[in-house]
A and B are shown apart, each in its own frame.
Chain A
Amino acid sequence: MIDLKGKLVLCLGERDGIAAPALQACVESAGAEVIYTETQCFV
């Protein structure tokens, strides 16, 4: 099993997939620290 506790996470989301704020909320709930967020939009 992976462990994100204490990890520094880069959240790379996409508007038409899962956006970065959602990724951030998820990984923070698993004990990670988010250091970068970006949500790409291709439309």
Chain B
Amino acid sequence: MDLEEQANIARLVESGQKDRMVAMLGMPNPASTRMVAMTLQEGDPSYAGPLAGIPLGLPVYHILEDQVRQIIDPAVYENEVGPMEFVLDGAAISKALDAGR
């Protein structure tokens, strides 16, 4: 995850209401999804950015997970995600997130 983006998120979380915060991801594959999820939960695994050693512990979901799709208006989901559901490997992405949960 970009160092500047890590800084933005760190600032946002420090500003309060962390308990209500959730991250929703749209990365294209399991590896990048896992990397961002780790950064937001356990801290930057590359130890390069502002979130290095800072375990925010944010709940992290990916838009292609079944449990996410179930709670989204189907018409909105079809319009916004549509065939990307078949193009990207949602099952592998879910698995990558589950492994870190």
Binding site for B on A (CB under 8 A): 1-4, 6-14, 16-20, 22-23, 25-27, 29-30, 32, 35-36, 38-40
Contacts and interface: CB of A to CB of B under 8 A. Distances in A.
Contact of B23 (A2, A12, A18, A40): A12
What is the predominant secondary structure among interface residues of chain A facing chain B?
Answer: mixed
Contacts, number: 102
A23 B27 CA distance: 11
Interface residues of B, number: 35
A14 B5 CA distance: 13
A7 B22 contact: yes
B26 A20 contact: yes
Nearest to A16: B28
